[in-house]
Amino acid sequence: MNSFTYCVPTKVYFGTNQLCHLGEELKRFGKRVLLTYGGGSIKKSGLYDAVVSEIRGAGLELYELSGIAPNPRIDSVREGAKLCKEKKIDVLLAVGGGSTIDATKWMAAGACVEHDPWDFFSKWSPVEKALPVCSVLTLSATGSEMNGGGVVSNPETKDKIGRVESILRPRVSFLDPSATFSVSKYQTACGAADILSHIFEEYFTTEKDLYMLDCCMEGLMKTVIRYAPIAMENPTDYEARANLMWASSWALNGFVNGGKQHSWSCHSMEHELSAFYDITHGLGLAILTPRWLEHCLNEKTLFKYVQFGVNVFGIDPALEPLAIAKKSIQMLSDFFFKTLGLDDTLTKIGIGEENFSVMAKKACGGGTIEGFVPLNEKDIETIFKACL
Amino acid sequence: MNSFTYCVPTKVYFGTNQLCHLGEELKRFGKRVLLTYGGGSIKKSGLYDAVVSEIRGAGLELYELSGIAPNPRIDSVREGAKLCKEKKIDVLLAVGGGSTIDATKWMAAGACVEHDPWDFFSKWSPVEKALPVCSVLTLSATGSEMNGGGVVSNPETKDKIGRVESILRPRVSFLDPSATFSVSKYQTACGAADILSHIFEEYFTTEKDLYMLDCCMEGLMKTVIRYAPIAMENPTDYEARANLMWASSWALNGFVNGGKQHSWSCHSMEHELSAFYDITHGLGLAILTPRWLEHCLNEKTLFKYVQFGVNVFGIDPALEPLAIAKKSIQMLSDFFFKTLGLDDTLTKIGIGEENFSVMAKKACGGGTIEGFVPLNEKDIETIFKACL
């Protein structure tokens, strides 16, 4: 068991009617607010009006940047960073899902340097300062509302790169489950797959970690498996939306890590899919995960599949371990592709093998992903092909 | 489901060899450090020397206050607050278990007011300022290392009163499981009972809360039930000590609350036992809890006992609900009194019914504890009597 540091100072207002605290919280950081968001959905839902009214009501100066796309682009980050400098912004408020929050974090960092923000990803330029970021969440998926991570795409170089810096962690996040009532069935399903994948990336390990965290991760997984179908069936089910929302934050705020050192596998592979084909991140993860689990199953890893199958899917522990492992992968596939109704192959979403070799090389940086099971170029290409 | 605010900014260094960060962390708050501790155990274990060496190595000025007793007294708090003022202390470092950390928090608050620190409890005087507190934990039990609560006793008035103020939450806590290797079997058992009770106080509710948190609470309970006996059997089992330590923090840092509004029952009753008889808090909780659960079992609460019995103790869900409920109480009693070997009655620890009536009245403030099931004076006296 490795030592670790745990520090998650984000203040979370969870529930309905919490937006009344927005003005007082933003005010702590200064007067000039940059509001960032994606398309028009927050205008349709009325959330935009509510947020603007709180900001104006608190006597703050409001600036806006909209049009942040899913798989957010470095161009948005550049634009936001420039605006922060020009308008002398004190605090950024991201209203949206993970893409908006991710991009906003890097605007906050870009505002404090002279170089091109893409250098944070291409040259790993240091992040020594950043403007404070707050968020109002509208999609349960990425956990960006409570962590320091942000993934940014560069369509020119076909790169999609994530980086985590604790200084970018939102200071205050507003999580109102009812703000996700308008999320479509498809996006709810993709969000559920994303949350599960964040947990899998930590859960599937051969390192000896805290049993306590395994129990909590199993609880988070059961929560997603229980409530995602309910939210898809009845989008305004508050209990379902609340459970998904709070689970999404805890899947990726650092809590479940507990000092594990291995690299993440499915996310590395999926980022290549999104970078080359601009697909929804959660969908790519759903297609990849069962194939990745099949690839990693061996004598040394078997115990973890058994634990997963028994504790999460309730498979009879009296069965043969290998049978439990295979059944657990099957039950996960069924959840993704039958219960959530996601497409089960890359072929179905129009992706062929034409770029697999270069994508595989990029996914492992030409070396090895030191994950649950080490994956080299060949392994990754094999997994990609199994997804066809 | 109620709305809530979640904010736990404590930075935790978890694991061995983390004390090297102590100097740099204390330095952030100033130059003059008040080191507080209890008896001599940290001198025997070498922890005292290690801490002092880090403080001196960082060039900080060291002051000391020792002799903080279990069920810490207001006199210690008064003494510490006075010392903070006299020596112009910048930061307090509590090295010990919950008693030391609790008392130190109130010294930090007392240092910032002119009135007697007991006014914080007798008159609920406001806590507007406090010196920063850090901690080095040596006992897995109270969760004080990651929350803003502190319980202080006043032997003169036979009061033991707890109060939570977020400003008192430790800024930085060092959790080294190996620092608990020297904790006795008995104290390990009492600590386990305390952790479990913190979870029970939140878990046993008829409010509709987050299923996700119920899963995590069940995971924390299973962790304690699994590892407490291992730590008692083999005190230097790192995995067991680590799981108990991290579970103790998460049982009571706010995470599992999730907006629940009910009052705590067993802690209110136990504080009277400790106030009148100065017994170990965890022991009092262990004796009270099964009787409290028996008292609260009714048609409306039954479902929660069933959930508890099936998910935590693995009782067959096909049994009759009432049979599951009764079996779950029995299994919990067996855990406390057989597995952990704690005394199972108040009689055995020399407590008779002579003060039950006045204790019951104080426990509910002459009214009702609005807990899992509302408890008035008569109910509480009945529960006390069932413990004889």
Average pLDDT over all residues of chain B: 97
Residue A208, pLDDT score: 83
Q: How far is A13 from chain B (nearest CA, A)?
A: 5
Tokens for A337, please give them: 């592709």
Structure confidence at residue A266 as a pLDDT band (50, 70, 90): very high
Contact residues on chain A for B219, CB-CB shorter than 8 A: 212, 214-216, 218-219
Tell me the CATH class for A188-386.
Answer: mainly alpha
Cβ(B176)–Cβ(B15) below 8 Å:
yes
Tokens for B47, please give them: 């922890």
Which 8-state DSSP code applies to residue A162? E
Contact residues on chain B for A311, CB-CB shorter than 8 A: none
Q: How far is B278 from chain A (nearest CA, A)?
A: 32
Q: Name which of B16, B210, B220 is nearest A212 (Cβ-Cβ).
A: B220
Residue A129, pLDDT score: 98
Contacts of A46 (CB under 8 A, 6+ apart): none
Nearest residue to B132 (alpha-carbon basis) of B10, B246, B7: B10
Contact residues on chain A for B311, CB-CB shorter than 8 A: none
Residue B86, pLDDT score: 98
Q: What is the DSSP string of A4-38?
A: EEEEEEEEEEESTT-GGGHHHHHHTT-SEEEEE--
Contacts of A223 (CB under 8 A, 6+ apart): A243, A244, A247, B211, B212, B215
Which 8-state DSSP code applies to residue A147? S
ipTM of the complex: 0.96
Residue B208 predicted with pLDDT over 90: no
Tokens for B226, please give them: 């699994």
CATH 1.20.1090.10 segments of chain A = 188-386
Structure confidence at residue B362 as a pLDDT band (50, 70, 90): very high
Residue A259, pLDDT score: 95
Tokens 């993934």 belong to A151
Residue B192, pLDDT score: 98
Query: Measuring CA to CA, how many Å separate B343 from each of B123, B163, B173?
Result: 36, 28, 32
Residue B295, pLDDT score: 98
Q: Name which of A11, A14, A247 is nearest B3 (Cβ-Cβ).
A: A14
CATH 3.40.50.1970 segments of chain B = 11-179
Tokens for B147, please give them: 């929350």
Does residue B239 sit in helix, strand or coil? helix
Residue A209, pLDDT score: 85
- Over residues A138-171, the pLDDT tens digits come to 999 999 999 999 999 999 999 999 999 999 999 9
- The dihedrals phi and psi of A366, each to the nearest 5 degrees, come to 80, 0
First to last CA, chain A: 38
Q: What number of H helices and E strands is found in chain B?
A: 15, 10
Determine which helix (DSSP H) or strand (DSSP E) holds B10, and give its type and residue range: strand B4-14
- Over residues B220-231, the pLDDT tens digits come to 999 999 999 999
CATH topology of domain A11-179: Rossmann fold (3.40.50)
Structure confidence at residue B40 as a pLDDT band (50, 70, 90): confident
Query: Taking CB atoms and an 8 Å limit, are A239 and B9 in contact across chains?
Result: no
Tokens 């007697």 belong to B116
Q: How many Cβ atoms are within 10 Å of A367's Cβ, its own excluded?
A: 11
* CB environment B55-66: b (16+ within 10 A), e (fewer): beeeebeebebb
Query: Taking CB atoms and an 8 Å limit, are B258 and A246 in contact across chains?
Result: yes
Please give the model's pTM, rounded to 2 decimal places: 0.97
A373 φψ region: left (φ > 0), alpha (ψ -120 to 50), beta (else): beta
Average pLDDT over residues A192-198: 98
Q: Name which of B212, B223, B243 is nearest A223 (Cβ-Cβ).
A: B212
Tokens 């906003």 belong to A104
Nearest residue to A204 (alpha-carbon basis) of A281, A275, A121, A303: A303
Higher-scoring residue by pLDDT: B208, A267? A267
Instruction: List the single residue in B with minimal CA-CA distance to A11.
Output: B7
Q: How far is B293 from chain A (nearest CA, A)?
A: 24
Which 8-state DSSP code applies to residue B352? -
Contacts of A215 (CB under 8 A, 6+ apart): B216, B218, B219, B220, B222, B223
Which residues make beta-bridge pairs with B8?
A8
Which of A212, A213, A220, A312 would you mutate first to test chain B, the one with the most B CBs within 10 A? A212
For the segment(s) B185-386, the CATH number from 1.20.1090.10, 3.30.460.90, 1.10.1740.10, 3.90.1150.10 is 1.20.1090.10
Residue A243 predicted with pLDDT over 90: yes
Distance between CA B214 and CA A109 in Å, rounded?
38
Query: Measuring CA to CA, how many Å separate B315 from each of B5, B16, B322?
Result: 35, 37, 12
First to last CA, chain B: 38
Residue A40 predicted with pLDDT over 90: no
Q: Name which of A15, A219, A226 is nearest B216 (Cβ-Cβ).
A: A219
Residue A345, pLDDT score: 98
Cβ(A37)–Cβ(B46) below 8 Å:
no
Residue B209, pLDDT score: 85
Residue B344 predicted with pLDDT over 90: yes
Distance between CA B128 and CA B355 in Å, rounded?
36
